[in-house]
Structure 1
């Protein structure tokens, strides 16, 4: 059975522009949910992408629906693929990469392995996945779901959520929280740059700035 729902409204461009300056690790200083498992890693180094989540759920050895969905994506979409627990079959390879990139989509994220790494690199298409596998899916017509709630790397992803992915990992944000999270993160990053410059120049010590030295000294004084 196939469940295909309408494409979600895209996250406003101005919100994504703001989010594009954020590092996932900055948000990880205070936010504890919305992060995909760290096993989902970038296949192309040094990339940071933002976009609107289009979700897909396909099982085991079948990628019929993935091939269909590749032709429905829009510029700015990020396709998030829930493999429903499968870690054996690579649903995404060189051919899917070419098709998804041709749609204008920004990136792909797969909760499972990919294949054809050299072709993905040659296509210069940002991908996040649980590594690689030589065993591929086929067109078995087993069904699946498009634009339904999915789980990817343990994170709940709703169609239309905002995605921020970089070399440290993948963050999922409800569209209504993007601006608040981005503004807080950008302010933290600016303060961090100032603190690092102070330490680099020898004007300050990291332990003094973070408060760690005061805690150590207080504990020593109490002994």
Structure 2
């Protein structure tokens, strides 16, 4: 009934420190894979977190394994919960939030609704989910799986993957791609700030900078 595999190796701290400088939307300029469905949104705005994915798959009305899993979490983990298609029952609420934060987890991501928004906010614990629901799960002992490949918001998440989550969404990265993606994104962000400064100073128009105006004028000619 239960599959509980060993906890994954955590993503190196230096790679996560680099990834923490990145915006998901920057990576979205060139990468298509690894983004969760846009309907998985932050419950607390203005947060950016990075961490190691610990995965969980639990069905509709049961959260037995989720309660157990909170006792296995480590500092720096992000618990990613595959709800196996359910969008009715809230498996994550105030009690789970307190337990996950006490274990040192930095965030939770649920492919379904949560509940107890006020308690989540009072705990100051970043959460991403498909909104809220008053209908909660129970300890029904129906089974589930931990630290197996899961699907969350249409993205495949392997235990030990790196997670970057911010106000724009959630990105999943294989651990061996973190540094390359982060370095490219940081370079793009740096160049972008320089371009924005030029536009702000009135040195150049956005359409000129991006090449859009040249394309429009060419078609009008």
TM-score range, shorter chain: over 0.9
Matching residue of 1:173: 173
Q: Please give the alpha-carbon distance, in whole angstroms, between the structure 1 residues aligned to 2:160 and 2:204.
A: 44
Unaligned runs of 5+ in 2: none
Q: Please give the alpha-carbon distance, in whole angstroms, between the structure 2 residues aligned to 1:31 and 1:218.
A: 29
Matching residue of 1:33: 33
1:14-50 CA distance string (max 9 Å, x none): 0000000000000000001100000000000100000
- 1:201 has 2:168 as partner: no
Alignment of 1:17-28 (within 5 A): 17-28=17-28
Matching residue of 1:13: 13
1:125-178 CA distance string (max 9 Å, x none): 000000000000000000000000000000000000000000000000000000
Equivalent pairs counted in the alignment come to: 221
Q: Please give the alpha-carbon distance, in whole angstroms, between the structure 1 residues aligned to 2:192 and 2:155.
A: 28
- 1:139 has 2:126 as partner: no
Q: Please give the alpha-carbon distance, in whole angstroms, between the structure 2 residues aligned to 1:38 and 1:127.
A: 14
Q: What secondary structure is seen at the aligned counterpart in 2 of 1:179? A: helix
- 1:60 has 2:75 as partner: no
Unaligned runs of 5+ in 1: none
Structure 1 residue 123 displacement after superposition: 0.2
Structure 1 residue 220 displacement after superposition: 1.3
Q: Please give the alpha-carbon distance, in whole angstroms, between the structure 1 residues aligned to 2:169 and 2:97.
A: 20
Matching residue of 1:122: 122
Q: Please give the alpha-carbon distance, in whole angstroms, between the structure 1 residues aligned to 2:5 and 2:219.
A: 58
Q: Which runs of 4+ in 1 moved over 3 A?
A: none
